[in-house]
Structure 1
Amino acid sequence: MNRKLRLNSPLYKKKSEKKHTKKTIALVCFCLLFVFSSFFSPLHQIVGGSFFKLYENWKGVPYTNTYKKIDNNNLLPSNYLPKNLLSTSSNPLDDQLIDGRFTIGYGDKSILFGYPYSFSTSHFVLQSSGKYASNNPELSQTKALKGVLISEIEENSDIIFTSKVIYTYDNLLITQTLEPVGADLEDLENTSKGNYYKIEYEIENQSDASREVEFTLLLDPMINADDICKLSADGSHIGMNRKFETNKIPLHFAFYNGDLQAHLITKHKNTISPDMAYIGQWAYLTNVLYLEQQKVGNYTDDSAIILRWNTETLQKGEVRTFRVFYGVPKGKEGINLQHHQPEKKSQITLYFDANQSQLSSEEETRLREFIGARRWKAALVEGYTDAKGSQHVNLELSKDRINQVSYALQMFGVKYEKILHKSHGEFFARNDDVTRGSGEQKDRKVVVTVWR
């Protein structure tokens, strides 16, 4: 199997029409020539010299290939990008930045929400001396981060094996590494047959001043296309809204549905264990910066987990690392990775009468016109209710509304397996003395997001 390392753009597409091949190659060569010419002089080095000489001129040290040779093809080292490429003041690769959120699957089955449709509801939050940043652009009160993606891919394919995303924030260099490992959590010769993904973050302080750094990782499991899964910690069943700290954190959490089971390894000789883990509702956890000890109602059965590494001081030049593993312990098919890259996204909100899940003819017409004749890659259908009634009844009502809209989408040409579901019940509804008795029309809805 041939592999290569590439600098990825979210706009990258595999060229399928042979008549454009020569033009494409010429354009790519010109772009590479332009980028490299920005960092190396004189220009004839790029045309006549090898990559190895360019690397040595740039780094000032002899070139050492840190990747294995496969089919006699050398791979670029994982650190081949100069750090000044990520300057916050002037970035020549703005159109090649991604937020780096990811989803993971086992074979053709999902173990994180969104797989296999390049859609993710997992993210991280970094706190640096009281300021927050996240790779989730929808999270309020945070600086939205984007980074450069470097990935090891299968030749002539979009399948990603190893991925690095490099960000900068507050003079910190943040490197997210996602790499397949075996059932023993050790490195593999053949990374297409991994059991787990190593999920690792390195934070390097490039400032002259110290930084107080705290890190939080949110993962949103979805097992075999079902966003509702059973939970266990070290083999014992657990419920929602459970907090574990320091020495009470289990060796692993399990998320399972039927025969498929995914493990999150939090304590092992190869992990750098978090200081806190919290199992709770995704709708709640995805919107918090600092998890407070408070009572959360049972609005949904959509589980997620937050891992937090507490605040530590990073002096100039120091590096702090966070590392866990997520995957299928006994799988034979290998796990796969997709990054969050919905390229052209559209959205519609459909409204319902009180206590009703049936689409009105007007809303059905709006949905049909919205879908049109386009070929959508996938759809996310999110169900909501008002605050009238019990939490359990409203959760079931939001699921019924999702089912009705999903059925309509299938009638309009969207295949069932391309539809992702999230049921929020009354979690996001206005809930006060005025609305609790009658509810609000704007809360009785289903939001459909489609992308190509």
Structure 2
Amino acid sequence: MRNTVLIPALLALSVGLAACSHQPNVNLENAKTNFSALQTNPEATKVAALETKDASEWLDKAQKAYLDKEDESTVDQLAYLTNQRVEVAKQTIALRTAENKIKNAGSDRAQALLDARDAQIKQLRGLNAKQTERGTLVTFGDVLFDFDQASLKANSRDSVTTLANYLIKNPDRKVIVEGYTDSKGSAAYNQGLSERRANAVKNALVRAGVEPSRIVAQGYGKEYPVADNASSSGRAQNRRVEVTISNDNQPVAPRSSMQ
């Protein structure tokens, strides 16, 4: 009888220990927080219902992967994609809100600016472009470069060519190219690597026909991470080059100048 009583208790203890060993995923928790913040915005279901639903579905995939104890890199990637969908929903809300303001104000000039920004996003959709405070942002991940290298891979040409073609067709747009690294290595080395990578993208755009005076290249090393540097997949997300395109003919403000 004593043994019979102990067996369920031992099973419960083993289950509890197994649960404790499954540590929270930082990037997944961040995605949950971002999606929760989106849900608190009443406009999410009014003007960005499809985008919000898309973000919800990706979050479900990320949580399922975590509960199924899939590789951490898989969970991190799904969490990253969730955050991207949340950003798309937020930008849709901002766009629709601006549209409503324009309708109420009846401003032809503001409408023209809004149309131009909307068109810019659509033309660069293949590069996962999104609207930010500084302009239209295109992020090139770690796929552009081999590890610890600053030379563009051959298979990155299509992405760079797509961006260059857009810039050639829109000669009034200014561009800032900003390189980032993960936290591995010294600050000085990472700074140099981020600058070399930013310049590699700039030079590729120039070779494709973009006027060099329109492009500023800047490196920030390990600053401004977009993911947790504690995991390999998080570090991979931080190793990136971001290209921000102006909404008009004015230079793009450097990242370091933003609060």
The two structures have a TM-score, normalised by structure 1, of 0.24
> Which structure is higher in strand share?
1
**Larger relative contact order (C-alpha < 8 A, sep ≥ 6)?**
2
> Which structure is higher in helix share?
2
The two structures have a TM-score, normalised by structure 2, of 0.39
Larger Rg: 1
